[in-house]
Amino acid sequence: MSKKLSIKLPGLEMKNPIMPASGCFGFGREFSKLYDLSSLGAIGIKATTEESRFGNPTPRVAETPGGMLNAIGLQNPGLEKVVSEELPFLESYDVPILANIAGTKTEDYVNVAEKVAKAPNVTALELNISCPNVKEGGISFGTDPEVAAALTKAVKEVSEVPVYVKLSPNVADIVTIAQAVEQAGADGLSMINTLLGMRIDLKTQQPILANRAGGLSGPAIKPVAVRMIYEVSQRVSIPIIGMGGITTADDVIEFFLAGASAVAVGTANFVNPFICPELIDELEERLSTMKVDNINELVGRSWSSCYNQS
Amino acid sequence: MSKKLSIKLPGLEMKNPIMPASGCFGFGREFSKLYDLSSLGAIGIKATTEESRFGNPTPRVAETPGGMLNAIGLQNPGLEKVVSEELPFLESYDVPILANIAGTKTEDYVNVAEKVAKAPNVTALELNISCPNVKEGGISFGTDPEVAAALTKAVKEVSEVPVYVKLSPNVADIVTIAQAVEQAGADGLSMINTLLGMRIDLKTQQPILANRAGGLSGPAIKPVAVRMIYEVSQRVSIPIIGMGGITTADDVIEFFLAGASAVAVGTANFVNPFICPELIDELEERLSTMKVDNINELVGRSWSSCYNQS
Amino acid sequence: MRREDTVVTENIEIARNIYQVTFKGEIVSEMTEPGQFLHLRTSDQYMPLLRRPISICDVDIDRQECTMLYRADGEGTKQLSDKRQGDQLDVLGPLGNGFPLDTIKGETALLVGGGIGVPPLYYLSKKLVEKGVNVFHVLGFASAEDTFYKQQFSELGETIITTIDGSLGYQGFVTNYILEEQPPYDILYSCGPTPMLNAIEQQLHPERAYFSFEERMGCGIGACFACVCHVQGDETGTSYKKVCSDGPVFPTGVIQL
Amino acid sequence: MRREDTVVTENIEIARNIYQVTFKGEIVSEMTEPGQFLHLRTSDQYMPLLRRPISICDVDIDRQECTMLYRADGEGTKQLSDKRQGDQLDVLGPLGNGFPLDTIKGETALLVGGGIGVPPLYYLSKKLVEKGVNVFHVLGFASAEDTFYKQQFSELGETIITTIDGSLGYQGFVTNYILEEQPPYDILYSCGPTPMLNAIEQQLHPERAYFSFEERMGCGIGACFACVCHVQGDETGTSYKKVCSDGPVFPTGVIQL
Ligand SMILES: Cc1cc2nc3c(=O)[nH]c(=O)nc-3n(C[C@H](O)[C@H](O)[C@H](O)COP(=O)(O)OP(=O)(O)OC[C@H]3O[C@@H](n4cnc5c(N)ncnc54)[C@H](O)[C@@H]3O)c2cc1C
Ligand SMILES: Cc1cc2nc3c(=O)[nH]c(=O)nc-3n(C[C@H](O)[C@H](O)[C@H](O)COP(=O)(O)OP(=O)(O)OC[C@H]3O[C@@H](n4cnc5c(N)ncnc54)[C@H](O)[C@@H]3O)c2cc1C
Ligand SMILES: Cc1cc2nc3c(=O)[nH]c(=O)nc-3n(C[C@H](O)[C@H](O)[C@H](O)COP(=O)(O)O)c2cc1C
Ligand SMILES: Cc1cc2nc3c(=O)[nH]c(=O)nc-3n(C[C@H](O)[C@H](O)[C@H](O)COP(=O)(O)O)c2cc1C
Ligand code: FES
Ligand code: FES
């Protein structure tokens, strides 16, 4: 692997800019049977909460045109088990972990953040302030700039590693929220989480998901993600991990041009579990064809360069 | 045509619940060569502004997975011509017109509303407070409940016909805005307008649309529309004209189950210009199979009935 | 487990909306465990987006051919039914844990299938017969037109067909037949709709039985938590099993029905 | 104009990434005007969502067959290139206004095509020849491998091929050739990339000429305002023409290049 793909972000020294997105890769165990996890740029692990959570009743997934809805409801084994079992398992791989953390109150986040950040292979945190699938909060942290900033500040105070804040796309003005968390000390942003959506089953005449609404992910939301990253990257000076519908190396490049400095791949792992290593290979080739020495050069080119517009 | 499909909404006595969505049908001239416009439930005409507008530079459309982006920029011949040429042309058909009106200041809206509402075949207005493609305002009317309410009130004061307010999906809390315009006197809601999106061309490394960002429509946004209609219809008592990605009779039924009382078909007209009459026929058949006497019965069934959930 | 673009060798309708598809590929050599499933991509675009879980019905290891039976019903399975000979079929698998064969001590196995739950029992039955087990099949369908593989099963052992409308074989549910006729068995294997599995558990109280479950899936490999089920007797409500990777086959008494 | 599910009778690669597709359908009887285009749906799913505008290249009214040539480049045209004989092709059309034939008074027509702008000139040339007009073709390509229909055009009239790299015919742009050789003509018809049309207008100043334009389209029928162009000499900036329904063919001097 050449140096074309290597990038360095706060807390994340990555061999390449590709990481699986939180919630779409569990804690890596299943995928570790398919390929060497050390080939990944980083790993975004499933949201960890203080207590273990069963999550929502099933059905938890439904399909939509070019996308899918999920309402998993942050199922996870809880802080203790994540720290004692899941993270140590991942230590056998040479790959930085971006630990996604969630909660319903500020104290939850702070407590989980403090403990998870101490794990040797967790080199950055991802604050999930945008999960649409838990009733008791979650998303409200992501729609109010002041609340989001206060939470960021509280977590920054206890975290030993850099903190990325994962933004919700279900807002009118994402720039204001991004700037608020930047000011509160966030080291980077992850965007976007899922859009809120619903599908109704014509036979039962009820929403397919037991939780009724769910988070929309996959190719369908890609244009929304690209637009938001384009807007935000011009107005903040912290790096953005871009995600939302990525399925091809061209998509990765599109996110970089929009202003992302790394990308996460979510839903596409379900369609093709080998997608991440495949994208890494294809990206390397694409950059050679494009005569780009390091993918870094592409960050924000859609707004920073003076290329002629056709 | 039986009575299965006929519905009655403020200002709109419709033979069936299908109307083309504003901006996707021009002023009906092109489609009048393809089929009898009198077969439609109603017609949503292109946004009318006080002055004629050329709109944005091209390219104005781009494709995305399961959807498309547009940045037409409200091109239209202006109030005078719409009233003197376009509306009289439509008078030869037996179909109510839902006149979509747009502007950049409250006075624009008020002036256009007052005059357009006087046309004999305009039986209802649709206030476009959500166009993402004009810089000078448009969308800001759609994201602030107070501003939206004030505009609604001002238009209601001058309009001789019922007023539907077309909501933007680019907000964190659509229920509050819906309730605000209901309280301000809106007779109905249209939802949803397009989501804001972008696509970047890898060759030019610039956004494909000359306007850079544009409005995302088509199947990709259907789950977002269904979710918003589901939420809003439970919290307001005015009817909702549903739209966003409708392409099949099943989609129409899904929107009714979510809480819509009529639907508009936008992007699908570009894929198949005969879609509206085809949907009307299919819908009639579907309702027979479902043993539904009038489509009205389906409104909001996903939340109002006690069907067992599987 | 791997992902492979296999080649369709045949795809035909064998009963009302029921298709039999056969494909060829190296992946077939891994398919030695009956009750496992394959996760299929039916479109190379993203409509539908997700894969479809379909059971292995029969395997010819030598010819590297695998057969599946499926009902063409929704978007994905309808697309699958459009595949023609020579078309590519993207297969991920084999996935999950199938029916355990090692533990079988009894002389007679009762295989109870319902509708589109019947296919995995065919490969199971073949494997049992190979081991010298005596197999007895009770296969339930809605109606004569929905019935398939009667001949194939009969070649392996006694085969009772039940139909709800009585248009073929015994009239009634599979459980009605079994309660009435009391065929003797040492172990029971079943796959079919949840109400059927429930009736078997509640009415037959089999001592040793394995059920194959269905749940909507995302990944199919245990990573997304789409397919979780509650566990019987779990008071905390936080224990779970994933149908895709812990199952789809579980001993009775494990999954909360 | 109508929409019809026609049937593909042939789809073959005739030059590097250039395909020739022929389909059969009743819709073909309406295709009497050269320069009109068809709006094709390449997928029955919604990826890609929109139709693709492709020009009519040749028509056999008696056999109800129409031929189009296209470059398989992006998502939609690549899908089109996967169609096999017997597959359905959803065609909307014929659309737009083609090249006017009634007004032709001159004896010689110069047909200038560039790359994938060449195809509509073939049907035009055939129609002109039918009317007794003397045709002269100058067809520009990037390279020899990209060249197509040389033989077909030669059968209708003199045909000059130009290539940018000189690997076939005259080396240079079509305008270079015309300026150098000054072939006499009474009317000029052209279709090709905008820079080529621009060069023709700026360098050749043809008195009577018709250009066929391209613009990204939504509906293709004049309803969505996706394909508007500014009009030459319009000071208000609000005049426009729609390429799909006012064009795609316009007399020179109308559209702002
Ligand atoms: C382990 C396992 C083995 C199976 N084996 C077979 C088999 O051999 N033959 C067969 O015909 N069917 C089998 N099924 C059921 C089959 O997966 C569904 O019928 C199929 O996914 C429906 O897809 P569709 O495109 O027709 O329906 P759609 O309505 O388009 O499906 C929408 C979504 O729901 C999911 N879904 C719908 N019904 C089911 C279901 N019953 N179980 C799980 N997911 C569902 C789909 O996978 C898809 O994600 C099996 C299911 C599981 C879990
Ligand atoms: C009136 C007219 C006649 C045409 N005739 C022919 C022909 O005979 N043969 C041929 O090969 N091409 C022709 N073209 C160009 C052809 O439409 C595009 O090459 C094709 O749409 C590209 O689609 P794609 O799926 O390959 O590309 P994509 O990149 O997937 O296209 C994305 C979108 O951009 C549009 N688009 C891309 N390039 C063009 C273009 N040059 N013009 C208009 N829209 C474009 C597509 O229609 C689609 O909506 C014609 C265009 C027009 C307007
Ligand atoms: C099944 C599923 C579970 C998810 N769980 C989480 C989660 O636990 N924490 C989180 O921050 N995001 C979660 N997400 C969101 C993804 O990380 C990602 O932001 C989103 O899916 C968009 O990317 P995609 O389109 O590539 O999937 C989840 C997404 C899916 C589909
Ligand atoms: C090309 C185009 C132009 C549009 N113009 C308008 C408009 O002038 N006024 C308006 O209120 N909505 C406009 N819309 C939005 C549609 O009316 C509709 O709300 C939206 O496209 C979602 O429906 P769909 O997915 O069926 O297209 C336009 C949409 C498209 C695609
Ligand atoms: S389907 Fe993903 S965990 Fe089972
Ligand atoms: S493509 Fe719609 S107006 Fe021309």
Per-residue pLDDT of C218-247, as tens digits, reads 999 999 999 999 998 888 878 899 999 998
Cα D2 to Cα A40, B281, D215: the distances in Å are 52, 18, 22
Distance B275 CA to ligand 6 centre (A): 17
Read off the pLDDT of residues D59-76 as tens digits, 9 standing for 90 and up: 999 999 999 999 999 999
Verify whether the Cβ–Cβ distance C219 to A65 is below 8 Å: no
D178 by DSSP, 3-state: which?
helix
Read off the pLDDT of residues A121-133 as tens digits, 9 standing for 90 and up: 999 999 998 766 5
Q: Which residues line ligand 4 (CB under 6 A)?
A: B 21-24, 46-47, 70, 72, 74, 100, 128, 131, 166, 193-194, 217-218, 221, 243-246, 265-268; D 218, 224
Banded model confidence at residue A164, pLDDT cuts 50, 70, 90: very high
| Close Cβ partners of B150 (under 8 Å, ≥ 6 residues apart) | B106, B184
Tens digit of pLDDT per residue, chain B (310 long)?
568 999 999 999 999 999 999 999 999 999 999 999 999 999 999 999 998 999 999 999 999 999 999 999 989 999 999 999 999 999 999 999 999 999 888 999 999 999 999 999 999 999 998 766 555 545 578 888 999 999 999 999 999 999 999 999 999 999 999 999 999 999 999 999 999 999 999 999 999 999 999 999 999 999 999 999 999 999 999 999 999 999 999 999 999 999 999 999 999 999 999 999 999 999 999 999 999 999 999 999 999 865 443 3
Contacts of D46 in chain B (CB under 8 A): 66-67, 218-219, 247, 271
Q: Cα separation of D10 and D12, whole Å?
A: 6
- Residue A131 catalytic? yes
Domains of chain D, with CATH numbers?
2-95 (2.40.30.10), 108-214 (3.40.50.80)
Cα A272 to Cα A232, A248, B126, C63, C75: the distances in Å are 30, 11, 44, 26, 19
Q: Is the ipTM of this complex over 0.90?
A: yes
Q: Cα separation of A153 and A148, whole Å?
A: 9
pLDDT for position A130: 77
Shortest CB distance from B200 goes to which of A201, A258, A308? A258
Residue C74 CA, closest ligand 1 atom number: 26
* Interface mutation vs chain D, best among C44, C45, C79, C84, most D CBs within 10 Å: C45
Distance B307 CA to ligand 3 centre (A): 31
Distance A242 CA to ligand 4 centre (A): 28
Read off the pLDDT of residues B251-285 as tens digits, 9 standing for 90 and up: 999 999 999 999 999 999 999 999 999 999 999 99
Verify whether the Cβ–Cβ distance B272 to D3 is below 8 Å: yes
The bridge status of strand B214-217 relative to strand B67-70 is antiparallel
Read off the pLDDT of residues D84-130 as tens digits, 9 standing for 90 and up: 999 999 999 999 999 998 777 768 999 999 999 999 999 999 999 99
The bridge status of strand C2-15 relative to strand C18-24 is antiparallel
Q: Is the dihedral of CA D19, D22, D23, D27 positive or negative?
A: positive
Cα B167 to Cα B145, B158, B227: the distances in Å are 11, 21, 14
Nearest to A187 by CA among A10, A57, A60: A10
| Residue ID of nearest Cα to ligand 1 atom 6 | C54
B279 and B5 Cβ atoms separated by less than 8 Å: no
Contacts of B29 in chain D (CB under 8 A): 222
Verify whether the Cβ–Cβ distance A172 to B253 is below 8 Å: no
Cis preceding-peptide flag for B192 (omega within 30 of 0) = yes
Shortest CB distance from A271 goes to which of C50, C215, C226? C50
| Burial (CB count within 10 angstroms: exposed 0-12, middle 13-18, buried 19+), residue C230 | middle
What token pair was written down for B97?
A: 């017109």
Q: Which residues line ligand 6 (CB under 6 A)?
A: D 217-220, 222-227, 242, 244
| Burial (CB count within 10 angstroms: exposed 0-12, middle 13-18, buried 19+), residue A217 | buried
A15 by DSSP, 3-state: which?
coil
C13 and C78 Cβ atoms separated by less than 8 Å: no
The CB density around residue C63, as the number of other CB atoms within 10 Å, is: 11
Residues in chain D: 257
Per-residue pLDDT at C98 exceeds 70 = yes
| Close Cβ partners of B159 (under 8 Å, ≥ 6 residues apart) | B113, B114, B117, B125
Shortest CB distance from B227 goes to which of A65, A197, A223? A197
Q: How far is A236 from chain C (nearest CA, A)?
A: 32
Residues 46-65 of B with CB under 8 A from C: 65
Phi, psi of D52 (to 5 degrees): -120, 125
Closest Cα in chain D to B47: D224
| Residue ID of nearest Cα to ligand 6 atom 3 | D222
Q: Cα separation of B191 and A20, whole Å?
A: 34
Verify whether the Cβ–Cβ distance B271 to D49 is below 8 Å: yes
pLDDT for position D248: 97
Residue C44 contacts B, CB cutoff 8 Å = no
What token pair was written down for B158?
A: 């001058």
* Interface mutation vs chain A, best among C30, C214, C224, C243, most A CBs within 10 Å: C224
**Which ligand places an atom closest to the C-alpha of B68?**
4
pTM of the complete model beyond 0.90: yes
What token pair was written down for B42?
A: 């109603």
Helices (H), B11-50: 29-32
Per-residue pLDDT at A1 exceeds 60 = no
Q: Cα separation of D16 and B40, whole Å?
A: 47
Contacts of B298 in chain A (CB under 8 A): 205
Is C107 or D23 the better-scoring residue by pLDDT? Answer: D23
Share of chain A above pLDDT 90, in %: 88
- Find the angle CA(A14)-CA(A19)-CA(A22) to the nearest 5 degrees: 130
pLDDT for position B310: 34
Contacts of A205 in chain B (CB under 8 A): 257, 298, 301-302, 305, 307
| Burial (CB count within 10 angstroms: exposed 0-12, middle 13-18, buried 19+), residue A287 | buried
pLDDT for position D107: 87
Residues in chain A: 310
Q: Which residues line ligand 1 (CB under 6 A)?
A: A 63; C 37, 48, 50, 52-55, 68-71, 73-77, 116, 119, 214-217, 248
Q: What is the DSSP string of B252-276?
A: HHHHHHHT-SEEEE-THHHH-TTHH
Contacts of B202 in chain D (CB under 8 A): none
Per-residue pLDDT at A307 exceeds 50 = no
Banded model confidence at residue A308, pLDDT cuts 50, 70, 90: very low
Banded model confidence at residue C256, pLDDT cuts 50, 70, 90: confident
In which order are the strands placed within the sheet that holds D170-171? D170-171, D158-163, D134-141, D108-114, D187-191, D209-212, D249-251
Per-residue pLDDT at A289 exceeds 50 = yes
Residue A88 contacts C, CB cutoff 8 Å = no
Q: What is the DSSP letter of B35?
A: S
| Residue ID of nearest Cα to ligand 3 atom 22 | A244
Q: Cα separation of C55 and C113, whole Å?
A: 13
Distance D57 CA to ligand 2 centre (A): 15
Cα A50 to Cα A117, A147, D197: the distances in Å are 14, 20, 67
**Mean pLDDT confidence for A41-64:** 94
Per-residue pLDDT at A138 exceeds 90 = no
A270 and C41 Cβ atoms separated by less than 8 Å: no
Q: Cα separation of D142 and B95, whole Å?
A: 53
pLDDT for position A133: 57
Is A105 or A271 the better-scoring residue by pLDDT? Answer: A271
Phi, psi of A247 (to 5 degrees): -135, -15
Per-residue pLDDT at A262 exceeds 90 = yes
Per-residue pLDDT at C105 exceeds 80 = no
Contacts of B66 in chain C (CB under 8 A): 46-47
Q: What does pLDDT average to over chain B? A: 93
Read off the pLDDT of residues C15-45 as tens digits, 9 standing for 90 and up: 999 999 999 999 999 999 999 999 999 998 8
Residue A237 contacts B, CB cutoff 8 Å = no
Q: Cα separation of A241 and A186, whole Å?
A: 13
**Mean pLDDT confidence for D160-179:** 93
Residue C237 contacts D, CB cutoff 8 Å = no
**Mean pLDDT confidence for D196-208:** 92
Contacts of D47 in chain A (CB under 8 A): 66
Q: How far is C101 from chain B (nearest CA, A)?
A: 33
Q: Cα separation of A70 and A133, whole Å?
A: 8
Read off the pLDDT of residues D21-46 as tens digits, 9 standing for 90 and up: 999 999 999 999 999 999 999 998 89
User: b/e string for C240-255 if b means 16 or more Cβ within 10 A?
Assistant: bbbbbbbbbbbebebb
Residue A147 contacts B, CB cutoff 8 Å = no
pLDDT for position A104: 86
pLDDT for position B307: 44
Beta partners for residue D228, in sequence order: D242
Nearest to D246 by CA among D223, D222, D216: D222
Per-residue pLDDT at D213 exceeds 50 = yes
Residue C43 contacts D, CB cutoff 8 Å = yes
